[in-house]
Structure 1
């Protein structure tokens, strides 16, 4: 008698033969914008028990979001930077909130073996949340690592403190750990690792990489993860302070996803009093879901579907030659250009004096070209075309090439570049391009009310940012935000020898 294997045995055999057999073409992603419970300011460190009490208050809120995301079928959820203990710490007062986070190669499930690497109640709880809800969980917390005099870079207090992202898989296993490299100017409580860490992990729904907040403005590790390691999705915890007109969270993070042609799961801390809001689930061809709320104090969960491997999708954008179209246009000399500041950088501006036309403005090696047609233009609203080609030197040092169409704060030209949140003028058509010297350009369209415009514009392969059918709301800014990484000064931590 011939016996045939059961369908279950056939499935198991095929799975062992081809691990990719269970791979998913699409997956459900979630991000949670968390209104953080902050510790009371104190000049002295609190006890570890008091620190854990505060962190559990935040994890109680995160737990509800994680459960809700899991019920909606999410495979992975990203929570914000600083979402477990908040911010405004000194190096000393932060210490009770830190845990030793081991290298993920140790093969550890904190939920089932919590004492293996010393006290780790935060990692234990996060691991159990992931395990009990069968979801990948991305969280931001603090890591501590002892050092001594044999290490010339060891801090005087005898340990390193790192701003750290961790990932627990759906079994609660620690699968990734990333130490933030590009620390923001106020993060004196943390150390930067000696080199940028390139952290990735694989799942049945794609290859993931992760970094944190300020890292997104620099080449390493952000660009390297996408260009060299070819991740499908970036996991991005952040505590992002919005800066209009070009650096609001939803605006810039969605533009980065489009410019890099990769998925981005951006989870922002919610603290409107510090201009912190704006989270999203972004694909290379536009936003899948986003949230911007500068009024309430409530957190918010986003859930949306993404392609597991966006580069294989029929909708994946084609490569762009960002200077191709602009270099075919010969700039026409004109009078009337003026200068103004955007985020402390001096731009060259030219006013859109007519309701339709063609305009060019140049600065340095960059010439920006705009063709446009307005409708419903208000008499008291002034729009300008601006160009900036230079080194930004405020909260960090990074080289920019930017072409921007934007609304001025008033009819006075001196207000051009100041923050604006509402507008009434619509554009039936615009085409913005520039003679960029870099291949890293991020296309932004921001509408009245600080709203995105998914599906309402496109980037052509010759470098034009265009709309042919207008936008659903009046325009605040249309921008090509370029980063010329090769002209950045050396990283300050590497330059000074400080870890």
Structure 2
């Protein structure tokens, strides 16, 4: 592999792009601080910092992904060249915004593909009044891709808006067509933004078109038990068996952190959650091309896996106190209060396996659990409680967006009531598990009344998903149902969530934001938020 090992003033010395015949490419994702009131004025400094991260890197990537909403906002949107015109903004006669021209120059001078996310404006008369901009202009949450020559080759305008975005942003009408581009290292990429990951368009539609590699600028707000950032990103990539490169915005006080690179069935290649609001870092990984043996790729080039900032794990069996990550403010899915659940009681004999079935509507979940007592736990130590859960019906994504879901899972609680589930103990609390799970087997019959994506979902006390070799996953297709089976094959004492999550994509003819008035949609979103808030006080 022709990968830079020496650095000079201009970055890598003797580096050459990955050839199209290689069975890998080098991917990079940038985690970066969120924009603030003061940070909004420092776009130039942010772009220079981005350039510095690339220049100082010991490895030159083929492609780099920048996070969502860190360069500008809807109050200062910019014009983006049309991709079909192959415009190179760097040094162009036509003056482009600083963001576009500078990123174009970095892409050209460092010979790499770059994706950034910006607020874009189109069809607009000059105005400095934000109300005028919203009323008279088309403003988009937009991904922009530059090739190695600095040309704009792809522009995707976000399709699935969330909450108040409907009041300020427009959405694309050609989501799949916009979100594809080809590279000179023989990989075709799809790309989308944040909530797009959870919908049939464009993300799942691109998978169905045969796209195997995806870029995802994100500003994800983590939610327990099923939607913390790394957990969700690994499960989506794993279930679709695709590569996914996610660049996350760091704003841990508002629950936002999560950057990683995922290689389908091989699981997480690199992942990072941070408590540092000012952290900026470029993460690298060799990414195997679709259908290539991961082992062969990594044997030919042993990437320094220490680049991953996932915390070191120690087991409760040896240390007693559970290693935990509590530095990101987590939200809780209030919809789980409606699930059919059963507590996993501590008093039951741990020498006898638990076998239990829970059903809700047309979904039945079967649980088989073997566990043994942790000798380091006693009456004075604090431990998590657990519940088995089954659910098939309407829910929400992040307590705001309506969703149809099916769930068979076990998840942690801080008390013996369902309201305490989906929460973690505060940082000051030392947690010692009462039990070690030896085997957990969960199965469910998920009807196929509509299109859906079945995923194995897991998250541990460090807010990381279980590695791909820690579980087995099978799905058998029957005439009108998918029979899913998830098995924990490595003993664990640090589980917060382990289960099967089905996302039933809502049929556009039944519910489609894009056919609704923006104000009416926002009103419905506020209603969902209010109902979720009130639900917390009804149990």
TM-score by length of 1: 0.79
Secondary structure in 2 matching 1:247: coil
Gap runs ≥5 in structure 1: 1-19, 42-50, 88-93, 149-153, 317-340
- Report if the CA contact (8 A) 1:426-1:475 is conserved: no
1:343 aligns with 2:321: no
1:263-302 maps to which residues of 2 (within 5 A)? Answer: 263-285=243-265, 286-294=267-275, 297-302=278-283
In structure 1, the residue matched to 2:109 is 132
- 1:58 counterpart residue number: 46
Are 1:181 and 1:215, in contact at CA under 8 Å, matched by a contact in 2?
A: yes
Are the equivalent residues in 2 in contact too, given 1:423–1:475 (CA < 8 A)? no
The residue number in structure 2 matching 1:399 is: 404
Deviation at 1:180, TM superposition (A): 0.4
Q: Distance in 2 between matches of 1:163 and 1:457?
A: 37
- 1:60-459 to structure 2, matched below 5 A, reads 60-69=48-57, 71-85=58-72, 94-95=74-75, 97-113=76-92, 115-116=93-94, 118-146=95-123, 157-187=135-165, 188-198=167-177, 199-203=179-183, 204-228=185-209, 230-285=210-265, 286-294=267-275, 297-308=278-289, 310-311=290-291, 313=293, 342-345=333-336, 346-353=338-345, 354=348, 355=350, 356-376=353-373, 380-393=383-396, 394-419=399-424, 424=433, 425-438=435-448, 439-454=452-467, 455-459=469-473
Cα gap change, 1:402 to 1:419, in 2 (>3 Å):
farther
**Are the counterparts in 2 of residues 39 and 54 from structure 1 also a CA contact under 8 Å?**
no
Q: Post-superposition shift, 1:27?
A: 0.9
Q: Contact 2:385/2:413 (CA < 8 Å) preserved in 1? A: yes
In the alignment, which residue of structure 2 is the partner of 1:323?
none
CA contact (8 A) 1:280 1:289 kept: yes
Q: 2:516 aligns with which of 492, 495, 498?
A: 495
Q: Distance in 1 between matches of 2:217 and 2:355?
A: 41
Normalised by the length of structure 2, the TM-score is 0.73
Q: How far off is 1:209 after superposition?
A: 0.3
Counterpart of 1:460 (choices 459, 468, 474) is 474
Aligned equivalents of 1:423, 1:211: Cα separation in 2: 40
Aligned residue number for residue 481 of structure 1? 501
1:266 is displaced (CA, Å) by 0.8
Q: Counterpart in 1 of 2:37?
A: 39
- Contact 2:68–2:218 (Cα < 8 Å) also in 1: yes
Q: Which moved more, 1:343-352 or 1:168-177?
A: 343-352
Provide the alpha-carbon RMSD of the alignment: 2.8
Assess, with a 3 A threshold, how the Cα gap between structure 1 residues 373 and 144 changes in structure 2: closer, same or farther: same
Q: Distance in 2 between matches of 1:302 and 1:343?
A: 34
Kept after mapping to 2: 8 A contact 1:275/1:294 = no
SS at match of 1:269: strand
CA contact (8 A) 2:32 2:278 kept: no
Cα distance in 2, alignment partners of residues 296 and 55 from structure 1 = 17
**Cα 1:185/1:296, change in 2 over 3 Å:** closer
Q: May I ask how many residue pairs the two structures share in their alignment?
A: 427
In 1, Cα distance between equivalents of 2:197 and 2:432: 29
Aligned-partner Cα distance in 1 for 2:294–2:51:
36
Q: CA deviation at 1:450?
A: 1.3
What's the CA shift for 1:98? Answer: 1.7
